[in-house]
Amino acid sequence: MATDKESIREFPPMSARINGDNTGVLMIGTNEQLVSGESTNDVRRALIGMVQKEAELAGQTLRVTTSDDEGIEVLLVHPDGTLRLDDKRPADPVEAPQPEVQAEPVIVRREAPATAVAVKDRAPAVTRERASRPAPVIAPEPVSVETDGMVESAAAASRRWNPEFVNASTVTTVAEREKDDSLFYVLGHGYDLDDFLQDGPAEQGFNGWLNKATGGSSKLAPGLSETAARREQAELLCCERIIRQATWQRGSVAFTVANKKGNSAKTPATVSVSGILASIRGGSVAMMEVSDDPGQLAGRSEGEQRSGIGELVLNAAYVTTKAQLEGYALPQTSFAHTFGSSPTRRAPLDRESIETVSALIDQFYTIRAMDSGNVYTSSAFAGAMATSDALLVPMMNASDSMGEAVELFHFLESHDDPHFRELAKRAIVVRVSDGRPEYKVERLVKDFMHQTGVAADRMFTVPYDAHLAERGAITLDKLAPATRAALVRISAALVVQLQDAVANPTTLTTTGRRGQTTQAH
C-alpha cells in the first residue's frame, strides 16, 4: 500500500507506549490518554483501537510511534483500520528517554476493552449491532529494527502491534471488539452506555472550534480527547445510576473499611464513600464507628457529635423509632449520618455491642458503613466482619500501609469463618495519595497483587486532594472534581459488590444478618 506523504497527518505528533505494569499511554500532542488491562496484550489492543478510531474520525492516515519493552516501531494507521510499518522511518531509531512513570498515573479508573474484563455473573445489556471495518492487515517488510542491541525483522516487530496477531487464543473479531467496547464494566458486569453518551458534532478542540466558526454548517466529529471525555462522563453517569437504583429485598446491607495500619485513610474513605452513596441515593446511609477505643470518625465528620456510639450502646434497648435513633447521629450535608464517639469517654466496644447496634441501625438505614480500628484480632473487629457484606481496604502508596493490608488479607483468608474468607476474596482496594513522597509504587502494587490475589478491576486510585490532606472535617463539595469522580467509581463498584454478596450469601440467619449460629433453610 503506497501512501503519499501529503495524505499522512503529521501534527500533532502521536505516540503509544506500553508500560511494564499493564498500563499504556497514548499521546496526541500534549494530550495524554491512559488505559489499563489485565495483560500487555489487552493494553496493546486498547491503544490500537484508540488510534484506529482517531484515524476513522479524522479520515486521514495517522503516523504513530509505538514502544514497548521489545522496541520502537513507527506505524501508519489508515482510516479503514488497516495498519503497516512506515517505510520512511529511520532504520536505526534512537530510543528517546522514557519519562518516569508517576506514582499516580491516573486520577480516575479507565476501563480496558471488553476483552480485558470477563463478564462473569450478569448477562450484558443488549447492545446495538455495529458495522465493522475490515480486519487490519500488515504488509511485512524486510527492514530490520535495532533496539537495545537486539535485531528483529520489521514484520515480526510489527506483529506485536497488530491486533490479529496478539494472543490469538483470546483475540475476538473486530466486530465483536467494537460491540463489547460499547459496554462499561464494573467488577465484570457490563452496562450499556447508550442512555448517557453525548452524540453530535465536536464541541471541543480544533474540530469544535471549526464547527462553531462556520455557524454549524461544519459538523466535524469529536476528536479522540473529546470522545474520551464524553465516554468518561457517560461512565460516571452510569455509576450514579448503579448507586441510585440499587435495592436489596433483604432490607439493609453493610460494609467495613479496614486496614491494620494507622493513617491509611480508613476514616476519610468511610466518610467520603458514605457521603457519595448518601448524596446520590438521597440519604439512608449510616456511618458507624467500630474501633475498640474512640476513633476519628466524628472528628472527620461535619459538626460536633454530642451523643454517639457509646451512648447508643447503653440505651439501645430503649430505642424503638428512627427519630429516637437519629438522636445519637450527626447529620452531614451529604445526607449521611455519623454514629461516632462523643467527647464523653465511652467503654471499649466488643462484638456483642457491635452486633446490637448494627441490628438497630439496619432497621432504619439501607446502607451501614463501619469505620474499623487497627486491631483486627479484637472482638469489635470480629463483630464488624460478622455483620458485613463487603470489605473496603484503603492503603497509602507506601510499603508499611500495603504491608499491613497484606497481613489483613492473610488473616481473613486463614480465618475459620467462611464468611471472613469470602470478604477477603471479594474485597475492594483503594490506593490513596496524601502528598507525601512515594517510592517504587508500581513495584509495591505488583507485590501486593501477587500476595493477595486482588484483581486489577478491584483496585482503584484516589488522587491527592488538598481538602482530604487537611485532616479535618470532610465536605463533599470541597473535594476536587477528579477526587469525586474516583469516589463515584469506587462507590459504584462497592454497590455492585454488595448486590453480588446478597445475591450469593455465604452465611445468612433467619433475620438476614451474618455472625449468628442459626442458619436459614
Residues in Cβ contact with 115 at an 8 Å cutoff, skipping those fewer than 6 apart? 42, 45, 170, 171, 172, 177, 180
Helices (H), 38-169: 40-58, 154-159
Confidence (pLDDT) at 28 = 86
In the predicted structure, residue 15 carries a pLDDT above the cut 80 = yes
131 has a pLDDT exceeding 50: no
Percentage of the chain modeled with pLDDT above 70: 77
Let me know if residue 81 belongs to a domain. yes
pLDDT at 225: 87
Residues 297 and 156 in one domain: no
Asked if the bond preceding 12 is cis, omega within 30° of 0, the reply is: yes
Domain count, the chain: 2
Q: What is the pTM of this model?
A: 0.65
Residue 86 pLDDT:
73
* 346 and 482 part of one domain: yes
* Domain assignment present for 509: no
Is the residue at 193 inside a domain? Answer: no
The answer to whether position 153 is within a domain reads yes
7 vs 165: which has the higher pLDDT: 7
Give the pLDDT of residue 39.
78
Q: In what order do the strands lie in the sheet with 8-18?
A: 31-36, 23-28, 8-18, 61-68, 71-77, 83-85
* pLDDT, tens only, 387-443: 999 999 999 999 999 999 999 999 999 999 999 999 999 999 999 998 888 888 899
Is 327 in the same domain as 421? Answer: yes
Q: Angle at Cα 427 formed by Cα 355 and Cα 231, nearest 5°?
A: 125
Alpha-carbon span 24 to 34, nearest angstrom: 6
Domain membership of residue 414 (yes or no) is: yes
Each residue of 140-199: pLDDT tens digit? Answer: 433 333 333 333 344 444 445 554 433 323 333 333 344 467 799 999 999 999 999 988
What H or E segment, with its residue span, contains residue 490? helix 481-503
Assess whether 174 and 288 both reside in one domain: no
Residue 300's pLDDT is what?
96
What is the rounded average pLDDT of the residues 98-117? 41
CATH for 410: 3.40.50.300
Task: Please say if the pLDDT value at position 128 is more than 50.
Answer: no
465 and 381 fall within a common domain: yes
Name residue, grid cell 495483560: 39
What average pLDDT does the segment 476-501 reach? 96
Answer whether residue 204 shows pLDDT above 80. yes
Residue 248 forms part of a structural domain? no
Among 77-81, 113-117, 134-138, the range of highest mean pLDDT: 77-81
Q: Residue 324 CB: number of other CB atoms within 10 A?
A: 14
Average pLDDT over residues 206-229: 84
What pLDDT is stored for residue 206 in this prediction? 79
More confident residue, 509 or 200: 200
For residue 427, which of 413, 417, 416 has the smallest C-alpha distance? 413
Most confident of 115-129, 207-221, 484-498: 484-498
**Does 221 fall in a domain?**
no
**Residues 168 and 260 occupy one common structural domain:** no
Quick one: pLDDT at residue 162?
52
pLDDT surpassing 60 at residue 84: yes
* The pLDDT of residue 160: 52
Same domain, 48 and 155: yes
In this prediction, residue 87 carries a pLDDT of 63
Least confident range from 55-64, 138-147, 271-280: namely: 138-147
The mean predicted confidence, pLDDT, of the chain is 80
Query: Is 142 in the same domain as 257?
Result: no
For residues 174 and 265, state if they share a domain: no
Q: What pLDDT, on the 0 to 100 scale, is given for residue 301?
A: 97
Assess whether pLDDT exceeds 80 at residue 235.
Answer: yes
Quick one: average pLDDT of 208-217? 81
User: Taking a C-beta distance cutoff of 8 angstroms, is the pair 462, 266 a contact?
Assistant: no
| Residue with the larger pLDDT of the pair 394 and 54 | 394
Residues 339 and 487 in one domain: yes
- Decide which of 37 and 123 is more confident: 37
Q: Examine the domain organization and report whether 391 and 497 are in the same domain.
A: yes
Locate all alpha helices (DSSP H) within 105-219, ordered by sequence: 154-159, 174-181, 205-213
Q: What is the pLDDT of residues 442-483, one digit of tens each?
A: 999 999 999 999 999 999 999 999 999 999 999 999 999 999
pLDDT of residue 89: 52
Burial class (CB in 10 A: 0-12, 13-18, 19+), 184: buried
As a whole number, mean pLDDT of residues 323-349 equals 96
Mean predicted confidence (pLDDT) in 291-305: 94
Residue 150, number of CB atoms within 10 A of its CB: 9
Within 282-378, residue ranges assigned H as helices are 309-315, 322-326, 351-362
Range of the domain at 378: 253-503
Is the same domain home to 374 and 460? yes
For residue 24, tell me if it sits in a domain. Answer: yes
